[in-house]
Amino acid sequence: MLKKILVAAVLSFCTVLFCADFTTVEKGFLTVLMISPPEMDSLPRRVSPEAFEAIRLQKLADSLNLKLKINFVNNLSELLPALREGKGDIAASMLTITPERDKIYNFSTPFYYSNELLITNSENKSFKDIKSLEGKSVAVAYYSSQFNTALQLRKKFKKLNIVQASADATVSDLIEAVGAGVYEYAIVDEIYLENYKAYADDVKSVYQFNEKQKIAWALNRNNEGLLKKVNEFIAQHHTFNNIPTDKRTWSEIKKLGYLRVLVRNNPYTYYLYKGQIKGFEYELVSLFAKKNGLVPFFVVVPEWEYLIPWFNDGKADMIASTMTHDQVRDAIKGIEFCRPYGKFTEQIIGRKSEPVKNLAGLAGRTICVRMSSSYWNTAKKIQDTGIKVNLLAVPENMETFEILDMVASGNYDLTICDSNIADVEIENTDKIQPFFNVGEAKSYGWIVRDGEQEFMKAVDSFFTGLQKSSDFNVIYARYFSRNRYVDDVKDDETNWHPALERFGPLIKKYSGKYGFHWLLVVSQILQESRFDHSVRSSVGGIGLMQLLPDTAKDLGVNPYEPEGNIHGGTKYLSQLRDKKFFDDANAMNKLCFALASYNGGLGHILDARKLASSIGRDPNIWVGNVEYAVRLLSQEKYAKKARYGYCRSDEIIWYVRNIMTKYFAYVQEERFKKPDAPLPEDLKGEKKDK
């Protein structure tokens, strides 16, 4: 996600005014060297320092009448050498000024100051003071400024062991390793710990080093003219000294070029799917930001009740979380709803076995909803009519789909739900149903600050234009007017057996190349597309194996051609299977992990393996273990502590089960015809030797 934000800042090539009082590596461009974000980004829950830095770099380029061009390097050890070799004008990526670096490079005026912290696992009770490090190990990021801090510590504590994390490990990886007990201690910048603690609480800071670290941009010694311009720019942008938490006007938002938006991590607002951010509100906000020349940053609140307080504290510029516009919220000071969108009614939902015909039938029953929701206000109005219905406040961290699950299981009696959400959620169960509508039709609305008329005009103009086109209906249908899960794939042999005459040779070619049984790839294609290469999914999947365009580009294949699609899909599945994370699993479980990652994204499966370990399940076994943990990741109490957030659990579990069932059946059919044919390794399920 971060890489997409950075790349989005690079403008298209064209002729521009060039300033003559400094030189650049490429005329007309400000070329910035940055560390390429890792293969997987965690779900962004706050405005990351790197993303904020990217916005400032774009503004710097604009101020110089240059186009911004970002050249990525693999890691920190390559960053400054690339600058010295003339591959860029500026080296960025939140660089700390150290005495060693300062001797070789020019550094700009610091634009950020950060404390270095000593961190350890939250359960560690042994640390008393800094002397506790004697005889211990402390980890630092590869080639980082924290290595110097660790060296200074070792002058005091001779038995201190310094461990450098691998070159491809991010600071978040390092912090996570401390939480998992891989390292006992580590030294990190506080800005990275703050971002990590937005979703995890398994690490704590136990010591703050005295001297604040100066974060700046590096330039070569021979570019004094550019250095002067950079320092002038930093001096003029005072808000750059810290990632802001303030109440900004629309003109200030436009001037600074970014928009902070409060959201929830749920299947309708903002979530991670196959490594890409999805969500109804996410898509709408992204279009709005693009129309207004802004970069959106999404801030995830831990619970629903925090949305308005965080907004009023200045932690965001807008709320976009499918919030119902009602009279109670209208009366809240400091906020104002913009133009409404998305019509729906609220419905009483309960078990089919215990129906309610009308309002009078609610007497003696219990409605279970969040107190911060509009549903609570609706339930209170029902009580005000004199009907003796009970009202139960459920935990604020529960999402609506979780409450519906609790009703279906019999743990809750009744609930209230928006009709559009109910249409999607209860399609997958035969235990609950809507009984009747409550009140008049309602709408969602974005929230801005009271009195921000220019902001409201911009939002109103956006929705007016969007709803005149087909774009709004397309986005709305993607999340509310269809099943969230893929339709069941029926094994109609009259459809797919003839397709093998056309695609069979390609399947056998590439399954053999990447070490799969060809019937595994047949099973996966059946699940993805039913051998219909014209299929295009709502999330962007293309063709037989539903390759995403970005994935196909990374793999170097053309997904629009059947051969490129089969080649790319099989290659990608092999890359997932062969990840080092799965080295301790046997062939069958590696395949299950790979299929689950193909469908839902590798990050969610890594979260599930970590969760499985923490609850006493085996992280190297899919069925009943990691599969069980995947299911938990659709629940708020687990998702909010997961690096990759909410997970579309049922779809992933269903996907793996269906493919593996088909695969086993087809192999058995083949072996019936050829009894001597061996069972593929990835169907044996034998334990791996340690």
Question: Which of the residues are catalytic?
Answer: 528
446 close to 319: Cβ distance less than 8 angstroms: yes
367 close to 390: Cβ distance less than 8 angstroms: yes
Burial 646-677 (b: 16+ CB within 10 A, else e): bbbbebbbbbbebbbebbbebbeeeeeeeeee
10 Å Cβ neighbour count for 453?
10
- Name the strand (E) or helix (H) holding 665: helix 649-673
Of 115, 18, 33, which Cα lies nearest the Cα of 78? 33
What are 520's two structure tokens?
């595994």
115 close to 190: Cβ distance less than 8 angstroms: yes
- How far apart CA 521 and CA 594 sit, in angstroms, is 12
Of 614, 574, 555, 515, which Cα lies nearest the Cα of 180? 614
Q: Where are the alpha helices (DSSP H) in 250-398?
A: 250-256, 280-291, 307-312, 327-330, 374-384
601: left (phi over 0), alpha (psi -120 to 50) or beta: left
Instruction: Report the amino acid identity of residue 264.
Output: R
- How far apart CA 6 and CA 36 sit, in angstroms, is 10
Which residues pair with residue 72 across a beta bridge? 34
Instruction: Report the amino acid identity of residue 679.
Output: L
User: How many Å from the N-terminal Cα to the C-terminal Cα in the chain?
Assistant: 36
- How far apart CA 214 and CA 303 sit, in angstroms, is 34
Q: Dihedral through CA 57, CA 63, CA 64, CA 67, nearest 10?
A: 60
- How far apart CA 282 and CA 296 sit, in angstroms, is 9
Of 523, 673, 533, 671, which Cα lies nearest the Cα of 598? 523
655 close to 628: Cβ distance less than 8 angstroms: no
What are 9's two structure tokens?
């800042």
Could you tell me how many residues make up the chain?
690
* Coil vs helix vs strand at 470: coil
Looking up tokens 């290659």, which residue turns up? 571
- How far apart CA 130 and CA 206 sit, in angstroms, is 9
